Every structure is written in structure tokens, then in C-alpha cells.
Structure 1
Amino acid sequence: MKKTAPKKIHALLLLVLIIFLTAKGIYIYSGREKRNVLQPITDTRFALNTVVTITLYDCTDKNILEEAFQLCNKYETIFSRTLTASELYRVNHSDKRKLSISEDLASLIKTGLSYSSLSKGAFDISIAPVSQLWDFTAETPAVPSSLAIQKQLPYVGYQNFSIKDNTLIRKKQENQLDVGAIAKGYIADRIKQYLIRQNVHSAIINLGGNILCTGDKEGAPFKIGIQAPFKDRNVSLATLKIRDKSIVTSGIYERCFTENGKLYHHILNPKTGYPYDNNLSSVTIISDESVIGDALSTTCFALGLEDGLDYINRLETIDAIFVDSKGTMHYSKHFSERYE
């Protein structure tokens, strides 16, 4: 009987091994195993009064994606200022000054009051008595009357609220809260936590410009564009490479309108009731938690370029890009060390 050469035996065994591994979704390249790349699953829907896109890169279970969107709906029924069925709406329109609230609402309010205090009211979640006068989503938005604004301003002030455990206390029934500036960040963080519990470690959660990345993409960083103010959505000032970070931008170009030649945007000054006019177009915050980025982007915009940058530069783990009214970008002190 003719014997098979050892080299032919080795080649035959290698072929069998390759076929077996290929059937398992594993490929061999240069002596290293590499799992077959999954096709991402993604969906885009209108939620939270914005366009929401969630993409999962290491998961094919559409039920997990669906549940992520259901979380958006769940939290909207808690945090919405305008949805009549929401918990916050019921709190704002209650005749009680001491109210028991859910753990989620209590947690978000505590964060909001903390940053309201840190900014000395430049950012203030008690802005609701004034913010409800402005409707930037109306078909024909208009500037509220000066009389209406002046009437509501005395009810604005984070000092009018206190919270202990899950009990909210306010001084007057007219004192109301608007958590819209930080709610999307909180929701993004909760969605990320859910995905990780479901063993999803590569995803992008985009809540209308609040972007939170889970892990990275096949070992490479995600590439996230920074929106150029007043340009089309696909026009970026810069592209950042990030892993497992949040990028949140507060700008004057998303919800705005022009009346008598003057631009009015949604970032309101709690002390005047009118939009901030400080020669800034946007502030982008890069952080680990999206709710922190949400709070800081609005806070730093309110503080202005000089004070806002000074504030960020005292925070070791936070980075920022400020864009002034001329389109010039200003970076926090550690930015160039961490990002290209």
C-alpha cells in the first residue's frame, strides 16, 4: 500500500481544521483567530422630540434594539415637561408643595440642582415658568411679550427647590422644573447600561446629537463628527476618534428662529428670560457619562467662552470644544493630549 507523505497529511488536517473553524464563524489570519464580523443592526425613530438612532455592532437580536427604544418611551413619560401624561407634568401642575416622586425623576433633579448651584444659576432647571413661554417647535414661533416674561421671572430660581430621598419640596406652586437640558443624557446612560447587561459592548446611541458610544467598533475607535453651526447635518468642523465616551453639543443652531432680523435660540438666560447672547455658537463636551456632558454643555455655554473654558480646565476627566460666533474652535487644555 502506498503511504501518504507526512506533508500531505498535515495539509489535509489543516484543511479539515479550517473548514471546521469556518463553520463556527472563526477565521484564521496570520496564525491569529478573528471572529466573523457581524452586520450591525440599526433603527431610527422620532422620540424625545428629536430623531433617535441606535446601532448595535456586536448583536443581531432585534428584541434588544426594540427594548432600547422602549426605554426612550419610558423615560419620556417621566421627564417630559409638555406631555400631559408625564410624571414631571403632574409634578409641575400639582397644587402641592411637597411631592413624592420616582427614583429616576429624583436622580435627574438632584443632578440638575447640583449643576444649577455650581453655575450659580447660569444654568437652572427651574427655568420652566419662562421656558414654557417659548415654543421653538411651533409652525410660526414668536418672541413672548416682555410683560409675560417679567411676570414669570420671579418664580425662576433653583434655590426654591430642595430634594431629600424621593421627596421634592418647592416654595410655591408656581415654581416648576424643566429638565430638558439634561434628560437625554440621563436616558442615553440608562440605555447603555441596559445594552451592557445584554452583553452588547459595541454600539452607538444617538439621541438627536447626544452621542454615547459603547466600547469601540471592531477594535477601532468610533469616528464622530462635530457639527458645523448653521450648516447641513453632514458638514463637520472636526472628526473625533473616541472609545466608550459621550459627546454632547449645546448650540444655537438647532432650535431657533429669526424675528425682526434677530436670532432667538433655545438656551435661555434664567436671569433675563431671553436667549444668551455671548458670541458662542456651540459647546461640545466629551465625558464618560452622557448626563454629565449634557449638564456641562449647557452650563459652559451659559458661562461663556472664558469662564466656561476655565471651569472645564479644572475638571481632569472632561474635555471640550467651544465654537465662537466666527466659527473659531477653542479647546480645553487636555484636549490635544487625548484626541487627534
Structure 2
Amino acid sequence: MKPMFLLLFAFIPAFGQGQVGTSWREPMMSLTGEAQATTYHIKYCDGQKRSFQKEIDSLLAEIDKSLSIYRPDSEISAFNRSMSHRFKSSHFYAVLKKSAEVFRATKGAFDPTVLPLVEAYGFGPTKQPKGALVNVDSLLQYVGFQYVMFDSVSVVKQKANIRLDLNSIAQGYSVDKVASLLEAQNIHHYMVEIGGEVRTKGQKNERQPWTIGIENPLSPNQLQTTIKLHNRAMTTAGNYRNRYEANGQLFSHIINPKTGEMEQSAILSVTVFANDAITADGYDTAFFVMGLEAVKEFLVNRKDIDVYILYTDDAGQLKTFSTDGLKNL
């Protein structure tokens, strides 16, 4: 799903043992593993000391088989090769439904049909020569989520050669599904992280919430700040990890679906906070494309979403913008 190059989240292993009260004497379970071409870290309190690793691995593999463009046998790959597809699982429909919501809300700044451009610039599953000249005008005709129609049963293209890439939102969906799996087992205190996308519930111990770090993009592996995350999700998009230089030009994986150009802006990273990870994941790349002022205007009417944006000013100095909902965190 979302590649590791978007791992802008810096995990802080500050999981203390319980101190007072029966609930905090419950053991802290810790699971780590690999799935969806990335890693995961999951921690939760459980008095029964149950391990849900097998169930989690099975769930993530199931989602991967539905939504991974890197698997030729996935549902999304089957759709990309044809004009229509009848859903085999609920995952494809659920992510398409949220994608349509974000596409409409951002007026196309988020568009999961951008795959032809992603590949042309040397990213994605099809290995194109890096630094090759990209004919943007010829490819833009194949970009437009408005040409994809779907219901709970099937998805259909209204234009040939349209192809979907849900990597920029599917990992958030995976985080939410793992969280739902834990909650179905009566787990009330957890932290789920997959490839840098995070969702928490409850607290890590009696006195402290889960604490998550945001990396300084100008000094990788150093923290810019930390956030206390309580019953919320957090995802990040950035342009400084997955990029390369060729023919004197810097190529970045974040592409504006309206212009077809690689996004060139002063923004370095956008971290989005929402009630669920799929919502945060859907908006982080869109906000990157929209730009700081447009994001500020957008959030006036979206109090369910907070952002922490790192950007450079005209002098190249690192600056920050955060919404009021993060001030006390």
C-alpha cells in the first residue's frame, strides 16, 4: 500500500507499565511484522495476554490482494486491465467510496486515477526509465476519477485506459480495519501503526496518552515535534524521501492530478489528524497539492480535521503551521 518513503512518522516507544488501578495492570502486548511492502507496530492492553498477530496478518494480506497495484492477481489490477469489475470483497468498495468523498471535497486535488502519470515519472509498479521526458498532455486524458462509476456490487470505467492507484489512501484503511479487529476483541487501549500511518484509542498508561513524533524534513531522523494522540488517527505525506535526480531535474512522487506536473512548492510535509485513518490518509496528499493558503481556507469548515504543515519560507527557513485543535497537544 503506501510505500515506506512516506514514513515521516517517528515512533516513540514510551509505553510505561501500569501504575494504579486494575485496568492499568493489564499487560501491554506488542506486535511487529511486515505486510503490504512495509512494516507495522501494534501495541494494546489485554488482561488475557492474547496475540492477534495471525488474524492481523491474514487481514492485511486480504486487503493487499484486493487493493495492491503491485500484485497482478489483485482486484484493482484486474479492474485496471478491463472496463469493469465485480467486487470480490468489501475492501475495494469501501476505499472507492471514501475516495469519491475526498475527490469531491478537494475538487480533484485527490484523484486516484493518477497512475499513468505516476508511472511515467518513474514511480509505481511499471518501471519506466527515470528522468524520461513525460508527455503530460497525452497522459492527462487518462486522468479523471469522474470517469469511474461504482456501487456496492461493481465498478465500471466510462473511458478506456483509466487506471486506479489507491496507495495514497488504502494504508489508512488498513489501519482502521486492524483497529476494528482489536475493538471487536474488547481492546480499549491500543496504538496501530502501519507504514507510518497511526490510529490510537485510550491511553498507553494511566497518566499519559500515546505520544507520536513528527520528523523534521530538513534533518531526517530528528523530531520536529511530538503530538499527544488520543482517540484519533494521524497520517503524513511528504516530498523529500521518495525522489530522485536525473538530467539536472529533481523528480518527486507527488503529482498534481490537475496539471500532470510534479508538485513543486515550499511545503515539505503535511500531517493530518482525523477521527479515522482513511480520512487522514485521503487528505494528506490532497492538502500537499492544494497548497497552504487553500488548505487554511478549506479547514475553516472542517473542524473534524487538524493539520500540522512544515514548509520553507523565501529564505529557506523551516516554518510550521498548525490548526487550533493541536495547540494543547
Report the TM range for the smaller structure's normalisation.
0.7 to 0.9
Displacement, 1:59? Answer: 5.5
Query: Who is 1:328 aligned against?
Result: 319
- Confirm or deny: 8 A CA contact 2:109 2:256 kept in the other structure: yes
Once the two structures are superposed, what CA deviation does each residue of 1:102-142 show, in whole Å capped at 9, x if it has no partner? Answer: 32201211211221122222210111222233444899971
Query: Who is 1:313 aligned against?
Result: 300
Query: Who is 2:11 aligned against?
Result: none
Displacement, 1:324? Answer: 0.7
Query: Who is 1:50 aligned against?
Result: 38
Q: Distance in 2 between matches of 1:60 and 1:318?
A: 35
Q: Distance in 1 between matches of 2:50 and 2:282?
A: 31
Query: Is 1:252 matched up with 2:239?
Result: yes
Q: Return closer, same or farther for 1:73/1:121 CA change in 2, 3 Å cut-off.
A: same
- Confirm or deny: 8 A CA contact 2:272 2:308 kept in the other structure: yes
Superposition pairs of residues 169-208 of structure 1, within 5 angstroms: 169-208=156-195
Superposition pairs of residues 4-43 of structure 1, within 5 angstroms: 33-34=21-22, 37-43=25-31
Q: Distance in 2 between matches of 1:256 and 1:141?
A: 14
Identity among equivalent positions (%) equals 24
Higher CA-based Rg: 1
Q: Distance in 1 between matches of 2:191 and 2:124?
A: 27
Q: Distance in 1 between matches of 2:192 and 2:169?
A: 15
Displacement, 1:230? Answer: 4.4
- Confirm or deny: 8 A CA contact 2:118 2:124 kept in the other structure: no
Within the candidate set 56, 68, 77, 2:65 is matched to: 77
Q: Return closer, same or farther for 1:143/1:307 CA change in 2, 3 Å cut-off.
A: same
- Confirm or deny: 8 A CA contact 1:41 1:59 kept in the other structure: no
- Give TM-score, length-normalised by structure 1: 0.82
Higher RCO (CA < 8 A, seq sep 6+): 2
- Confirm or deny: 8 A CA contact 1:54 1:65 kept in the other structure: no
Within the candidate set 290, 303, 306, 1:303 is matched to: 290
Query: Who is 2:279 aligned against?
Result: 292
Q: Return closer, same or farther for 1:163/1:228 CA change in 2, 3 Å cut-off.
A: same
Tell me which amino acid in the other structure corresponds to 1:190: K
Displacement, 1:261? Answer: 4.5
Within the candidate set 211, 214, 226, 1:223 is matched to: 211
Tell me which amino acid in the other structure corresponds to 1:73: A
Query: Who is 1:99 aligned against?
Result: 85
Q: Distance in 2 between matches of 1:303 and 1:41?
A: 40
Once the two structures are superposed, what CA deviation does each residue of 1:185-231 show, in whole Å capped at 9, x if it has no partner? Answer: 11111110000111222221111111111221123211111111143
Query: Who is 1:10 aligned against?
Result: none
Query: Is 1:88 matched up with 2:109?
Result: no
Q: Distance in 2 between matches of 1:182 and 1:136?
A: 17
Structure with greater helix share of residues: 1
Unmatched runs of 5 consecutive residues or more in structure 1:
1-26
Q: Return closer, same or farther for 1:34/1:45 CA change in 2, 3 Å cut-off.
A: closer
Partner of 1:334: helix, strand, or coil? helix
Unmatched runs of 5 consecutive residues or more in structure 2:
1-17
- Confirm or deny: 8 A CA contact 2:27 2:49 kept in the other structure: no
Aligned residues: 305
- Give TM-score, length-normalised by structure 2: 0.85
Greater displacement, 295-304 / 310-319: 310-319
Q: Distance in 2 between matches of 1:270 and 1:253?
A: 19
Tell me which amino acid in the other structure corresponds to 2:160: Q
Query: Who is 1:277 aligned against?
Result: 264
Q: Return closer, same or farther for 1:50/1:263 CA change in 2, 3 Å cut-off.
A: farther
Displacement, 1:168? Answer: 1.2
Displacement, 1:317? Answer: 1.9
Tell me which amino acid in the other structure corresponds to 1:297: D
Tell me which amino acid in the other structure corresponds to 1:186: Y
- Confirm or deny: 8 A CA contact 1:214 1:244 kept in the other structure: yes
Displacement, 1:49? Answer: 2.2
Partner of 1:225: helix, strand, or coil? strand
Q: Distance in 2 between matches of 1:266 and 1:294?
A: 16
Q: Distance in 1 between matches of 2:326 and 2:251?
A: 31
Partner of 1:151: helix, strand, or coil? helix
Greater displacement, 301-310 / 56-65: 56-65
- Confirm or deny: 8 A CA contact 2:29 2:51 kept in the other structure: no
